[in-house]
Chains A and B, each alone.
Chain A
Amino acid sequence: MTQNLLEVQGLKTEFKRGDGSITAVAGVDFVIKKGEVLGLVGESGCGKSVTSLSIMRLLKDTPGRISGGSVRFEGTDLTKVTDKEMRQIRGNEMAMIFQEPMTSLNPVLKIGLQLMEPIMLHLGYGRKKAREHAIHMLRLVGIPRAEDLVDEYPHQLSGGMRQRVMIAMAMSCHPKLLIADEPTTALDVTIQAQILDLMKHLKEEQDMGMLLITHDLGVVAELCDRVVVMYAGRVVEEASVDELFARPQHPYTKGLIQSVPKLRQNVRRLDSIKGNVPDLSQMPAGCKFAPRCDYVTERCLSQEPELLPIEGLERKSRCWLTQQENTEGGERL
């Protein structure tokens, strides 16, 4: 029996705006098992990054706050622990890589110092030992001349190298869970291939769970075991990676997969999803995807479906269509 590393239940995050508030994440559920890579996919504004920030409790200096639900990491509810306790977990047992390797490193500190900070803090190493460990980590992520590099500044490195440094930093305390928010989006394809290859190796060697947040379905297919698709702050579909690409159930997932131009596919026109992502402050009633959906029924416009398991399958979907037995009376528009 594999244990659940992270259980997110009904997570809700709100942001203050003016007198009211808008809900960026509206009840998200998923689990990550030990050593599993879970992909979190969706378009911009769907709440995938806010979900990751909520899990890491990094919303403190923003107008945002977690307003409901729980995040259980190895049984501990992270929404309940104190800031001090959270600091023991963050960077130690859970670590994060951000999208922008240019802005997530401190430009006035040497690479080595930045790498040594979490090592000294969490592993309790002295300076000398921490420096050795930092060099070891840099070698592990495939950085040549690591001994020299610890004394250089971030601006002396290329984008791909900086992202390797970020990965080395995140991995330095052997986290059980790594959250990677668009780790390769800012990189060129040949560099992206290097980084994806590296992450695959590290994951296998360290047997670490990973939450990979991306909008790139190619990266998902490459790296993930299971996928959660988000739309408008909600999970709309969850499935294993093979199942998701072979038989997408939710109309949004279908549309998303079909909109991506694929190499050597040779189609004249691309399928696209009509319309735009709804504004968070003006969410439609009923199913949030209904205004853009090709299969919309009367029922979709008034009642929001729940995320339910599809019978006989190891997967879930938030759509009236996949919950056939419930759809009586739903006239197709």
Chain B
Amino acid sequence: MKETPLIEVKSLKKFFSVKKGFFGTTRYLHAVDGISFAIRKGETFSLVGESGCGKSTTGRLVTRLLEPNDGEVWFKGQNISHISDNQMRPIRKDIQMVFQDPYASLNPRMKVKDLVAEPLLIHTKLSSKERDKLACELLETVGLNSIHAERYAFEFSGGQRQRIGIARALSVRPSLIVADEPVSALDVSIQSQVLNLLQDLQEEYGLTYLFISHDLSVVEHISDRIGVMYLGSLVETADKDTLYDRPMHPYTQALLSSVPVPDPTLKKERIILKGDLPSPVDPPSGCRFHTRCPSCMEICKQHVPIFREVEPGHEVACHLFDEEMLKLER
């Protein structure tokens, strides 16, 4: 019997309206267009893709900072996609977020101890003394000194600020942390410190991560399972080893081959994609990727491929792996 996943997303959709001109017709930007995935407890699931593919919007839908237009988000067996703010509040304690920009996500006028303890103020009935004590403990947990508690955010470097952001997310003991590009603003030597910290905390507190990143090397390091997004849809999900050893979707293959490898002796065959990402306001017909796909067929221009399991735990949305569609093409 399968256990219920901690969080499950079912054909989630989010559109943003964009208006062209004063009398212009309203058109919709398909930021997230029908994606489904599930994350088990204690697992790290990553969403990876290029800018504008909808990975951050997905993160915001999961944390219910945005309400979906269609589809469902199930958290611990409860459908949270359309519940009221009041009903959502106790659940927010269980889902916390770490943001990309450690400079913008910390209030410059608050002391570090107040920043870290702010979720406690909202979600618990602890006294201010107890909160301060917990804040100091949390700072130590993330590798900062508790004497830093009285300082302000500007006195810290990028890596230290990201640690403060992590301590804040951790303060209410959440079960899910949505980390949206948590290391992309950091230098490499600091990036590895923060990645190690995230892994240590996961072991210690049994955390589940939804990790959002564009960096394939970082994603490979931290994830158990990975979903690759392109223009609002998932094109492939698989566990880490399968995805990196045997990527099936042409986009995943191109993406993986594009990563510059820090090893000059390795000269690898690179798949260079032509052109740019199409606009999500006016996405291509059929398969979203067909305009750039090196193995595009006639059928790809007309029919949207179905996201289906091609082997246990490995799902792909591509006509190349759909026997019936291939027959039709011939």
Contacts and interface: CB of A to CB of B under 8 A. Distances in A.
Interface in B175-191: 187-191
B264 A276 contact: no
Contact of B264 (A191, A221, A272): A221
A62 interface: no
Nearest to A257: B262
Interface stretch (B98-106, B115-123, B270-278): B270-278
Contacts of B265: 242, 245-246
Interface stretch (A11-19, A104-112, A260-268): A260-268
Interface in A251-291: 255-257, 259-264, 267, 269-274, 276-277
Interface string A136-172: 0000000000000000000000101100000000000
B316 to A, nearest CB: 18
A220 interface: yes
Interface string B248-269: 0000001111111111111000
B307 interface: no
Interface stretch (B11-19, B39-47, B71-79, B216-224): B216-224
29 contacts: A158-B277, A188-B51, A189-B214, A189-B255, A190-B50, A190-B258, A190-B273, A194-B272, A216-B260, A218-B259, A218-B260, A219-B260, A222-B264, A255-B189, A260-B188, A260-B262, A261-B221, A262-B262, A262-B263, A263-B216, A263-B217, A263-B256, A263-B261, A264-B244, A267-B221, A270-B195, A270-B221, A272-B192, A277-B157
B50 A189 contact: yes
Contact of B262 (A158, A192, A245, A255): A245
Which of A193, A241, A242, A245 has the most chain B CB atoms inside 10 A of its CB? A193
Contact of A158 (B216, B258, B276): B276
Which of B160, B216, B264, B272 has the most chain A CB atoms inside 10 A of its CB? B264
Contacts of A245: 262-265
Nearest to B218: A261
Interface of A is mostly: helix
Contacts of A158: 276-277
A43 interface: yes
Interface in B158-183: 159-160
Interface in A29-71: 43-44
Contacts of B4: none
Nearest to A268: B199
Nearest to A198: B272
A188 B273 CA distance: 12
Which of A194, A215, A242 has the most chain B CB atoms inside 10 A of its CB? A194
Contacts of B264: 221-222, 241-242, 245
Contacts of B266: 221
Contacts of A220: 262
A217 B159 CA distance: 20
Nearest to A191: B276
A221 B261 CA distance: 7
Given A190-B258, A256-B188, A272-B189, 18 more contacts: A189-B255, A189-B259, A190-B254, A193-B270, A216-B260, A218-B260, A221-B260, A222-B261, A245-B263, A261-B195, A261-B220, A261-B221, A263-B244, A267-B221, A270-B195, A270-B196, A270-B221, A277-B187
B157 to A, nearest CB: 5
A196 interface: yes
A259 B263 contact: no
B107 interface: no
B189 A256 contact: yes
Nearest to A142: B274
A189 B187 contact: no
B213 to A, nearest CB: 11
B193 interface: yes
B260 A196 contact: yes
A85 to B, nearest CB: 37
A263 B189 contact: no
Contact of B189 (A188, A259, A261, A267): A259
A324 to B, nearest CB: 26
Nearest to A193: B258
A263 B187 contact: no
A197 B270 contact: yes
Contacts of A270: 192, 195-196, 221
A7 B218 CA distance: 37
Nearest to B256: A263
Interface string A229-247: 0000000000001100110
